[in-house]
């Protein structure tokens, strides 16, 4: 393990522990033994270039992509083989790359889809919380989701994930395809969510924006973690600056 990696002992109570995780597409190995930890209440960013394996890692955490080796431990339970819906029930929600909202359905029906696995009666309250966070969604709640802009669809995808009442939110490239001002707005919302107590694992190609709000970060290259440190230290790291920040 390189000197700049955090040893396991630093996070004895990690909410999420990823140990030696591997994943394949046929003969292509996309993840080559990934070790990552996220403590309760943390906002942890994963940055890396095209094809590094970021999306594959998130899909393996949410259970839609099988792991070929290693382990995923969530709140002390081994969930490496658990089905996606079982992980949602345990409190893991993923906001997928490209939003994937249901275009013909209304904004509010999209949000309610996030709550279909819930049995409690607090859904109306949580819906109001999402509307308070993203007032534009309340304004457009009866409108078809497909008519929203890219930034609004990202808010909707985040709102839908929040309706599952997650303890761990997995975000895949929320800034993708958005104008710089919207990137800032979306990532400010992500930082707000952390302040409200949601633990967040944020995958981003926009390394600067992600590391700026992250407590800690990991750099993934060709399926392996090559660096890990606080968000601020990674922003100041020469290798990160050169490869991901264009400075």
Residue closer to ligand ATP by CB (options 172, 229) is 172
Q: For residue 83, what is the DSSP state? A: -
- CB count within 10 Å of CB 105 equals 15
CB of 176 to ligand ATP, least distance (A): 8
Stated length of the chain: 247
Grouping H, G, I as helix, E, B as strand and the rest as coil, residue 193 is helix
Q: Which tokens hold the place of 212?
A: 């700026």
Measured CA to CA, the distance from residue 133 to residue 169 in angstroms comes to 16
Q: Which listed residue (9, 28, 124, 247) binds ligand ATP by CB under 6 A?
A: 28
The pattern of x and - marking residues 185 through 224 that bind ligand ATP according to CB under 6 A reads --------------------x-------------------
* Partners of residue 93 on adjacent β-strands: 169
Nearest distance in Å: CB 2, ligand ATP: 21
| Alpha carbon distance 137, 143 (integer Å) | 9
Q: Toward ligand ATP, which CB reaches closer, 48 or 151?
A: 48
Q: Closest approach of Cβ 72 to ligand ATP, in Å?
A: 16
Greatest extent of the chain over all pairs of C-alpha atoms, in Å:
53
Of 48-56, 86-94, 224-232, 234-242, the segment contacting ligand ATP by CB under 6 A is: 48-56
Could you say which of 22, 55, 106, 143 contacts ligand ATP (CB under 6 A)? 55
How near is the Cβ of 220 to ligand ATP at its closest, in Å? 7
DSSP-assigned states of every residue in 114-132: TTTT--SS-HHHHHHHHHH
Distance CA 114, CA 145 (A): 14
Decide whether 20 or 135 has the Cβ nearer to ligand ATP. 20
Sites of contact with ligand ATP (CB under 6 A): 25, 28, 30, 48, 50-56, 205
């Amino acid at each position: 393990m390189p000197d700049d990696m955090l040893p396991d002992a630093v996070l004895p109570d990690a909410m999420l522990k990823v140990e030696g995780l591997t994943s394949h597409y046929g003969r292509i190995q996309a993840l080559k033994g990934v070790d990552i930890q996220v403590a309760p209440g943390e906002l942890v960013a994963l940055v890396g270039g095209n094809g590094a394996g970021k999306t594959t890692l998130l899909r393996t955490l949410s259970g839609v992509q099988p792991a070929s080796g290693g382990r995923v431990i969530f709140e002390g339970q081994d969930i490496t083989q658990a089905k996606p819906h079982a992980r949602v029930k345990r409190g893991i929600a993923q906001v997928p790359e490209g939003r994937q909202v249901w275009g013909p359905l209304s904004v509010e029906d999209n949000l309610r889809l996030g709550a279909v696995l819930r049995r409690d009666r607090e859904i109306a309250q949580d819906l109001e919380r999402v509307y308070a966070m993203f007032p534009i969604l309340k304004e457009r709640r009866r409108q078809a989701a497909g008519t929203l802009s890219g930034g609004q669809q990202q808010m909707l995808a985040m709102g839908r994930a929040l309706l599952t009442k997650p303890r761990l939110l997995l975000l895949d490239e929320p800034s993708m395809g958005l104008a710089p001002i919207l990137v800032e707005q979306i990532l400010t919302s992500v930082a707000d969510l952390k302040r409200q107590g949601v633990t967040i694992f944020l995958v981003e190609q926009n390394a600067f924006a992600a590391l700026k709000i992250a407590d800690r970060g990991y750099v993934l290259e060709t399926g392996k973690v090559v660096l890990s440190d606080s968000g601020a230290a990674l922003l100041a790291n020469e290798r990160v600056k050169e490869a991901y920040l264009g400075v």
